[in-house]
Structure 1
Amino acid sequence: MTTSAIVAENFPSPARTTVENKPVKVIHVITDLDVGGAERMLVSYLTAERDAAPNSFVISLLSGGYFAKWLRESGLIVHEMNMGRAIGNLLSLFRIALMIRREKPDAIQSWMYHADLVSTLALLLSGRKRQTRLYWGVRCSDMDTSKYRITLRFAIWACSWLSWIPDGIIANSFAGMNVHKNLGYNPKNFFVIPNGVDADRFAPNAELRAEVRRELEIPDDAFAIAMVARRDPMKDHETFVSAIDIVPGAIGVLPGKGTEELPDQSNIRRLGVREDIERIYAGCDVVCLCSAFGEGFPNVLVEGMAAGLAPIATDVGDCARIVGDVGEIVAPRNVDAFAEALRNLIGLGREKLVEKGMAARRRIQVEYGLEHAVDTFDNVYKMQSVEGKVAHSSRPILAVSSAVVSRLATFAALIAAARFIQDPNEYGVFAVLTALVGVVNAVVSGGGDMWLNSFTGSLSRTTGQAPRISQAYLIICGSLAFLMAAGIGLIFLISANSAVSTSLGELAPGLAVSLSKFPLATMLAVVGASFAGLFEALLAILRAGNRVTAFFTFRDLTTPVIVLALIVLLKPVSAIEMMAVYCGVWLAVFAIAFFYVRGALSVLPKLVSISARRWLSLLRHTAGLIYGNFGSRLSIHIDVLILANMVSIAFVGEYRAAAQFAIGFMVVQHFVFLSLPWQMRRTSQSGEKGPGFAWVILQQRTLLLVASAAFVLLWIFAEELLGLLGERFVAVADIFRIFLIIRFTDILWGPNHEMLISNGYTVRDAHANFIALLIWGAVFSLCQVGGIDAVVAAVNATALAAFAGQATRYRMLLIAGLVPVMGHRMGPALPIALTGGVLILSYLII
């Protein structure tokens, strides 16, 4: 396979090129310019002779380096940031951002992890993300990060989170691409450009061979074995030296920074940093790469082969692909195997070994020429757009940040409502109506964005239009909204009968109060919830039509902030006034979203003809999703709806506030994992850990760490937090603490709900919701029969229902052949123990 074929498999075709006469401006950001493979490739690319080369300059995060002087002597500008200390790093970040604003580059190419991270942050700070394309450079594969500083691990973790931002991620090896996809990098952004070598510079030369061998005192009958590498745990000089020691007639030649510090022995030539690597190759017979891990596309192996040396390499990175059938591939860290490969080549004899070397040179000339690599990089930088750019990428940071903003705005609205509605009974009614809103919304939305998931394919992603069935989805949701409004109207009509009203007051006093004393507030709640459900349906269409930014902006950023602003401005003092605010906001955002979807973006396709049989199929699909969505919402609100008929309505408001704060504290887990669909789908394969497992478990452990810290702080400051609502809410601080344990226990089970949804087991997840509801009802009823206080019964029922739902999902994952990701070593035992603790605490402190 030629290089061009390799690149064509992964490299997107340019959509448009810049004006031919306008030179493309590119900034290259690299960690340092010391001796290394990435640095050497950058220098080779920038100094290669060709027509219409991009206008380039280099930013080195660290100062100095062997190649910095080389680039300057070639006429290139090099800016050295001298990063290393915290304050200096921050100042350098802003310096780079200012350079980007001043220079206005067409593209930024970063090389290696730290440069990837810094260039991304600097580009975002510069405000030129839309005008400047960003390309990351992946130059290694499976790094053993335990042998390096913790900053490297942080850089890799941060880059995996930010990998949706760059317009492309250029790997120099297929091994590197696959490893980084498994680490959680966005798989849609990758393509491969193998390194290239100047075969004219690295070429056999009989005169240089004799000169170098005299200089290094290598006998004519000895075989010179070159390994060009800096001293680094990855390069594994120890295996190389040990193998040379047991192969008679072999002399190791070791150029590279730090090699001069190796023990002095007669069969080793320790050369340190050399500027004449092509001379060293000319004096040798075999080129070796003994790396233990982490290699991507090793330049030194390709350079040695271009110089006519027979290759031996360990099976790391793309070494086997590079060597092909012209050399030897051995397992890493295996002295005997490496020595045996040396004996095999030396045993061929001098003449056959030279033939082997020339075959290696021909392979490099055909497949890994520098000209092709340079042309490919140039073509990348000349693009104005790249197929599969950010429009089709997931946005985990946008999802999580919008969730945080939404939660903060919701908390603030809750605090403002509690402050303005001074009457405890009015606030209690408001709390019950908000629970009713959640349940009605679950029905009207018809399943939300999950409804269209089954109909969203590659055509939708390419055209930017939602599926053709979207009009039918809106018709179904509109019909559901009408049925809900008609249903509440019918209930009002029936409850007007005195006999029905008396019976209702005895069976469900909370509902009777809402219908008799707060009819308008109840009607506004249902109408507002219906508009909210229709609004959610429109958002589902936006998401299906690849308008992800608009989706999160409407749902999590704009709407909660508008609600908060109106509450603060209008200062509603009753349940009806508060419901009027909510209803008005949902009506307004629904109207805005409708015209946005219908006209501004043409996301919504034309209505298609649908047969009666098809309508029945769609209705069954809707019913299945409502089953899951309704069960999920009802499992959250059932305690409030039941307690409203058993305890004072004023206490229900306080109870609801404590529960809402605890639920909001833990809800970010949902957004973290549903924003990572490809990792969730690749976490397991046939019951074994899949390529996405490492990334998902890292996020789960990070979430557990943050949640644990938040849990401790909220437990300590529970009274102060609830005191923001008003003095009367401090009385439910113990209930709030117990709810914190319940929700924290949910996190300990891992992202079971999100994993089931991402892997297509939506119905099974819905079953778990209804099992939780059944358990809640059974436990609450048993507690009531046993004479247990209603509030204690509700808390115990909530704890056991949450346990039943999560345990059911855990079991479903195992049945489906998926591997649960809990993030701790205690398995189900820890959440089971905490659930038992909740039952005990509820008796002791409530």
Structure 2
Amino acid sequence: MKVVHIITGGEGRGGAEGALLRLINGTSKKVEHIVYTLLDMPEYNSDFKEADIVIQSLNIRSLKSFAINLYKLRKEILEYEPDIIQSWMGHSNFLFGLLGKTWGIPVVWNIRQSRVTKKELGSKNYALMKASAKLSKLIPYKIINCSLKSIELHKQAGFYDNFAYIPNGININSSDHKLIEPQKNKEFTVGHVGRYDPAKNHALFISSFNSFNKYRTDSRCIMVGTGISYENTIFKNKYEHLINASFTFLGQIDSRDELFDIYKKMDCLVLSSITEGFPNVLIEAMSFGVPCISTDVGDAREIIADTGWIVPSEDQNALEKALEEAYREYLDFPEDWAARREKAYERVIENYSVEKMCERYIDVWNDAINQTTRKRSQ
């Protein structure tokens, strides 16, 4: 099977690009992949190179270069004769859905966000989304989405009900992802992982932990993410009055192994976001047996199920109460806490491994190829 991927790209280490990389690594023995990006993707070049994939940028920032590269792309794709065009996110879905249709190649879209309102998207992206909604019945064989909440929101926004739910998967290495017995008589360690962004609602987490920590002085927290440090003067000025010695800020972590070591130091993880699609941080933490507390956003409720706590968004009292419940179980009922950790770990193994994600993608691609073949033979 030959699959051409077209993804937005750009600076930073986005979730879609990470999912594509895991997908390629997990299916490379069965599928031949080629990757094009609308924008350069410098942070991922070395990762894709290790996967034997050379990223080819269409350089959409320059209209002239884009037009030249688009002509080149058409020639290459028709010579390559792919079985599927797998596009990723709004601009790629719209543009290459239309082109794939004219080239006679089945197209599968991928939507990975839960924002659908004009206020959330801005005028241009909102117009693009509405245009894509009108084409969604005509262009893609399927629309892959990693979030049940996002699927529902997009159907309400006018998208044709042609979705395939494929939750994100993570690489679970038995030597890395294993349950480690918590150290006795140590501080209760709460983690928070997320870049500095209003949507992550650091204010809720910091205020809640600050209040909780006043009464539970044997607790501490570790915060990770781009901009989560005093080097970020905006962050420092906004929260310095709430910070004490129980807070540790680690900023951006680029090394996967280093991030794994940080998860292993956590007893509990909190997601305080106002909005999410499929929050990867939850399955990452749970893959190390770390129970999670999350606001009721995106697919958090589906992911956590009965392994942790769901609280209303922007409700500090509810978050403090959940922290207290987790703390008391951790301290007073170690057997219950161990069972909770085991349940969180097993939920990720059973539902969110990269192997299961890859199997589901291949099933969608095979169905698209088979349907296209049947239509051509009629």
Report if TM-score (shorter chain) is over 0.5: yes
For the residues of structure 2 that align with 1:283 and 1:375, how far apart are their CA atoms? 32
How many residue pairs align between the two structures?
353
1:172 aligns with 2:146: yes
Corresponding position of 1:373: 357
1:345 paired with 2:326, answer yes
User: Which residue number in structure 2 is paired with residue 270 of structure 1?
Assistant: 250
Q: Does structure 2 conserve the Cα–Cα contact (< 8 Å) formed by 1:140 and 1:317?
A: no
Q: RCO greater where, 1 or 2, for CA within 8 Å and sep 6 or more?
A: 2
The partner residue of 2:169 within 196, 205, 212 is 196
Contact residue 37 and residue 298 of structure 1 kept, 8 A: no
Tell me if structure 1 keeps the 8 A contact 2:116–2:157. Answer: no
Please say if residues 308 and 360 of structure 1, whose CA atoms lie closer than 8 Å, have aligned partners that are also in contact: yes
Cα distance, 1:73–1:306 mapped onto 2, change above 3 Å: same
The Cα shift of 1:346 comes to 1.5
Q: Does 2:362 match 1:382?
A: no
Give the 3-state SS of the residue equivalent to 2:193 in structure 1.
coil
Amino acid across the alignment from 1:39: E
1:610-759 to 2 correspondences below 5 Å: none
Mapped to 1, the partners of 2:253 and 2:42 lie a distance apart of 11
Measured on the aligned residues, the alpha-carbon RMSD in Å equals 3.0
1:27–1:388 CA distance, 2 compared to 1 (3 A): closer
CA contact (8 A) 1:308 1:361 kept: yes
Q: Which has the larger radius of gyration?
A: 1
- CA deviations over 1:602-636 (Å, ceiling 9, x no partner): xxxxxxxxxxxxxxxxxxxxxxxxxxxxxxxxxxx
Structure 1 residue 137: deviation in Å?
0.8
| 1:286 to 1:334, Cα distance in 2 relative to 1, 3 A | same
Q: Deviations over 1:346-394 (max 9, x none)?
A: 12125343432221001111222221111111222233546699x9xxx
Query: 2:26 aligned with 1:45, yes or no?
Result: no
**Are the counterparts in 2 of residues 167 and 386 from structure 1 also a CA contact under 8 Å?**
no
Q: Which residue of 2 aligns with 1:254?
A: 223
Q: Would you say 1:156 and 2:138 are equivalent positions?
A: no
Identity percentage of aligned residues? 26
Q: Give the conservation status (yes or no) of the 8 Å contact 1:227–1:253.
A: yes
Aligned to 2:297: 316
Taking the TM superposition and a 5 Å limit, the aligned residue runs for 1:508-587 are: none
Q: Which residue of 1 aligns with 2:156?
A: 182
Match of 2:262 among 280, 283, 287: 280
Q: Please say if residues 117 and 126 of structure 2, whose CA atoms lie closer than 8 Å, have aligned partners that are also in contact.
A: no
TM-score when normalising by structure 1:
0.39
Q: d(CA) in 2 for partners of 1:68 and 1:319? A: 31
User: In structure 2, what is the equivalent of residue 27 of structure 1?
Assistant: 4
Change (3 A) 1:329 1:149: same
Q: 1:147 to 1:286 in 2, by over 3 A?
A: same
* Structure 1, 351-360 or 371-380: larger mean CA deviation: 351-360
> 2:282 is paired with a residue of what secondary structure?
helix
2:228–2:249 contact (8 Å) kept in structure 1 = no
Q: What is the distance in 2 between the residues matched to 1:46 and 1:134?
A: 18
Relative to structure 1, the CA distance from residue 84 to residue 175 in structure 2 (aligned partners, 3 Å threshold; closer, same or farther) is same
CA displacement at 1:182 relative to structure 2: 0.9
Structure 1 residue matching 2:87: 3-state secondary structure: strand
Residues 201 and 273, structure 2, Cα contact 8 Å, conserved in 1 = yes
The separation in 2 between residues aligned to 1:72 and 1:367, in whole angstroms, is 29
Distance in 2 (alpha carbons) for counterparts of 1:118 and 1:235: 31
Task: Say whether the 8 Å CA contact 2:83–2:369 is kept in structure 1.
Answer: no
Contact 2:168 2:354 in 1 (8 A): yes
Counterpart of 1:624?
none
What does the per-residue CA deviation read over 1:135-180, in whole Å, with 9 as the maximum and x for residues that have no partner? 1112122456525554332331221122121111011122111111
Conserved in 1, the CA contact under 8 Å of 2:116 and 2:126?
no
Residues 98 and 167 (structure 1), Cα distance of their counterparts in 2 relative to 1, 3 Å cut: same
**Residues in 2 aligned to 1:143 and 1:311: alpha-carbon distance in whole angstroms:** 27
Question: Whole-Å Cα distance in 2 between the matches of residues 154 and 93 of structure 1?
Answer: 23
In structure 2, how many angstroms separate the alpha carbons of the residues matched to 1:306 and 1:367?
Answer: 11
Secondary structure of the corresponding residue to residue 4 of structure 2: strand
User: TM-score, normalization: structure 2?
Assistant: 0.82
Q: Deviations over 1:250-271 (max 9, x none)?
A: 4333333333433264414232
Aligned to 1:626: none
Indicate the structure with greater helix content.
1
Q: Does 1:75 align with 2:48?
A: no
The answer to whether the aligner puts 1:232 opposite 2:190 as a matched pair is no
Checking the alignment, whether the CA contact within 8 Å between 2:291 and 2:308 is kept in structure 1 is yes
1:329 aligned counterpart, secondary structure: strand
